[in-house]
Amino acid sequence: MRVALLAPLFESVPPRLYGGTERVVHQLYRGLLQNQIDVTLFASGDSSVEGKKVAVLDEALRLKQPPVQDSIPYHLKMLSIVADRAKEFDIIHNHHDYWMLPLLRMTDVPIVHTLHGRLDSLDLEEVFRGYPEANYVSISHSQRHAVRHLSLIRWVANVYNSIDVNSYVFREKPGKYLAFLGRISPEKRPEWAIEIAHQSGVPLIIAAKIDGRPGQDYYDHYVKSHVDGKFIQYIGEISEKEKSDFLGNALALTFPIDWPEPFGLVMVESLACGTPVLARPCGSVNEILKNEVTGFCDLDIRELARKVKDLPVIDRKQCRRWAEEKFSLTRMTEDYVDVYRRLERTHYHRRNLLHSVECTSDGDTKDQF
């Protein structure tokens, strides 16, 4: 089986700093290689993978210098490159959002699209209506809720994201600070993490990306005044190597989101380190966490703050086991290979059926038997 894996162009694979989707693509790439699948990655040229790679551009868009003013030409370039090479593959697996949907009209190679973002946008409905033949994979069941009224969407599977759990160091002893890891944005609500810290009396360390002017404005307005370098610290973005120490040495990860999070990979990363999670049950949270087993879930920030004192009852070994059992690289890879094989079979049967119809219409039936 020959698989083309299409990554977003905003971050390298794996990402140097922030980048959830790119991290998942990297894990899947590794998993496919381990399963003897012939896989080729289409991504930015600064991606560091051991195997076949097609560099769509020299450097990922977010960190490219000078800064990219318009990303659309790069997405169209990727579309053209993949279309030209499509016949080299048995399956095309797209992780680059709706940019690659036109491939459906440019090749007859089976294509599956994993959707990584939120779907509660009326504008997105126009895209779905324009490509009713597309095969989609969701990354959580809750992700589908926003478009459950669109019966034309063809969901072929739900596949939870995964991590290589063994790359995260388990720490049995809890730390003495709360952690916030992610983006500075209204969806992630870092200011609510700060509120949990103040109400519980436990210091907070924020490791987060500030993305563009909106992110900087949000930081300046809601976060900056609370950062004193002692009780509330902001340390910026951290690398993959730093993440294990940061999460593992924390008392808990705060995840006080205020949006329908499609997945939230950082929760799994925290559990892999043995660190429980304090989260608001929005979006996929209740699919990833188990209240009072892997941490505590509550919509009320004040209640989450009160639960900080109860964190010692959470078994950090059980947090690690939960990550291993539910979100392993092996499980995600097997799920996707199953999707590939089903799409291959479906494509094969449709192609043979079409061929039989064409032969019959031409008065030649010898290939039907």
Domains belonging to the chain, first-starting first, are 2-162+328-357 (3.40.50.2000), 165-322 (3.40.50.2000)
In this predicted model, what pLDDT tens digit does every residue of 115-154 receive, in sequence order? Answer: 999 998 888 999 999 999 999 999 999 999 999 888 889 9
- Tell me what percent of the residues of the chain surpass a pLDDT of 90: 84
Using an 8 Å Cβ cutoff, are 142 and 284 in contact?
yes
Does 363 have pLDDT greater than 80?
no
Q: For 16-20, 145-149, 303-307, 352-356, which range has the lowest pLDDT when averaged over its residues?
A: 352-356
Whole-structure pTM over 0.75, yes or no?
Answer: yes
Q: Pull the structure tokens for residue 284.
A: 């996929």
Q: How far apart are CA 12 and CA 19, in angstroms?
A: 8
In this predicted model, what pLDDT tens digit does every residue of 148-173 receive, in sequence order? Answer: 888 889 999 999 999 999 999 999 99
Q: Pull the structure tokens for residue 357.
A: 């119809």
Does 351 have pLDDT greater than 90?
no
**Any long-range contacts for 266-271 (C-beta under 8 Å, 24+ apart)?**
266/20, 266/181, 266/182, 268/161, 268/162, 268/163, 268/323, 268/326, 268/327, 269/163, 269/168, 269/181, 269/243, 270/179, 270/181, 270/319, 271/319, 271/320, 271/322, 271/323
Sequence-distant (6+) residues with CB within 8 A of 329 are 27, 30, 31, 162, 163, 164, 165
Does 355 have pLDDT greater than 60?
no
Using an 8 Å Cβ cutoff, are 199 and 305 in contact?
yes
Q: What is the mean pLDDT of residues 172-176?
A: 95
Q: How far apart are CA 25 and CA 27, in angstroms?
A: 5
Give the position of tokens 């868009």.
Answer: 61
Tell me the angle at which helices 316-326 and 265-272 cross, rounded to the nearest 10 degrees: 130
